[in-house]
Amino acid sequence: MPVTAGGAAAPSHGAIRVVFVLLDGSLVLDWAGPAEALRIANQHLRAMGQAERFAIEFAGPAPQSTGSLGIALAGLAPLPALDAAHAPPAWVVLVGLPGQTIDVGGAQAQALLAWLRGLRLARGRVELVAVCAGALLAAHAGLLAGRRATTHHEHLDELQQAEPRCDVVANRVFVADPPVYSSAGVTAGIDLMLHRIAETCGDALAARVAQTMVVALRRGPHDPALSPFLAHRDHLHAALHRVQDAVSARPQDDWTVPRMAALAATSPRNLARIFAEHAGIAPLLWLRGLRLAMAQAALAAGANVTQAALGAGFASDTQLRRAWRQFGLAGSPGGGRRAD
């Protein structure tokens, strides 16, 4: 039996209309994860006595679609008319499709592209959110010309070919080039939506949504897709994950191996052994990598070397420079700030 997705509902006053556009084969996690983040944000807002900020709806060129997992979704609303001048603010969310390349030759895809070409994007009015390979749909519609964007790493070359005028950014979790926002892989769509929630409702609410979703770390637009915060986490050791979760949340704190060991309910010597065996790195070296990533982000945001060093937990800018060399980064902290 098809699952009824629910069509358009009249957005409450001040709410942003968030239209998830679905085609046959749309990747379920591409839209389900970001949509849940918005639903949870509304839930927290209601609990605080505030009005919901996001009116979630699902639309498509056909009233029914079959998702990537074979589940049929019925009750999709028609592709709406969005007026940047008069209508409530709206986000159009495009999601990926399975396959090594994105086929836009079908009738549904062609209908969607025709609708996309009629959009008039404007910051704060009608904005585009492309999750994973959804950026390819935007590219084929001409919406990424002169824009910076990213997509799943397997589709980066395809994106550049589809829109040579797009500045395709590799190795980023997501890229914000208002009114266009794009994310890398599937789960990066959740990071992007948390970023959009923070922009709209504040960091505190976005943090609460992340905690509810058990997202251990919110990644930002300056974080590489292969973030140091995610490195050395491909193991199944529960106590070690507990330590890494706590340290990742506040790497600038005064962490020592004994303090980490206490979280794992083990000895410092045994913690070092566990780190080496399961994470493939020494605990303090792993911590130094996290702090270096924090310092890089601070430098990119305009902090000076001393501010970046102390804010990331280094005792001095000399320590930051030493870590910079140890991890083989080009240039120096003062002259090697990474670009957006």
Q: What is the pLDDT of residues 54-88, one digit of tens each?
A: 999 999 999 999 999 998 999 999 999 997 776 78
Q: Could you tell me whether strands 126-130 and 54-59 are parallel, antiparallel, or unpaired per DSSP bridges?
A: unpaired
CA distance 218 to 276: 26
The confidence score (pLDDT) of residue 24 equals: 94
Highest mean pLDDT among 23-37, 193-207, 232-246: 23-37
Q: Which residues pair with 73 in a beta bridge?
A: 3, 65
CA dihedral for 184, 187, 189, 195, sign (positive or negative) = negative
In degrees rounded to 5, what are phi and psi of residue 118? Answer: -85, -5
Q: Domains plus CATH for the chain?
A: 3-212 (3.40.50.880), 228-340 (1.10.10.60)
Each residue's pLDDT tens digit, 258-303: 999 999 999 999 999 999 999 999 999 999 999 998 898 888 878 8
The confidence score (pLDDT) of residue 6 equals: 55
CA distance 150 to 132: 8
In degrees rounded to 5, what are phi and psi of residue 6? Answer: 90, 130
Average pLDDT, the chain: 88
Output b/e per residue, 264-297; b: 16+ Cβ within 10 A.
bebebeebbebbeebbeeebeebbbbbbbbbbbb
The confidence score (pLDDT) of residue 339 equals: 37
Given a contact cutoff of 8 angstroms between Cβ atoms, the answer to whether 165 and 154 are in contact is no
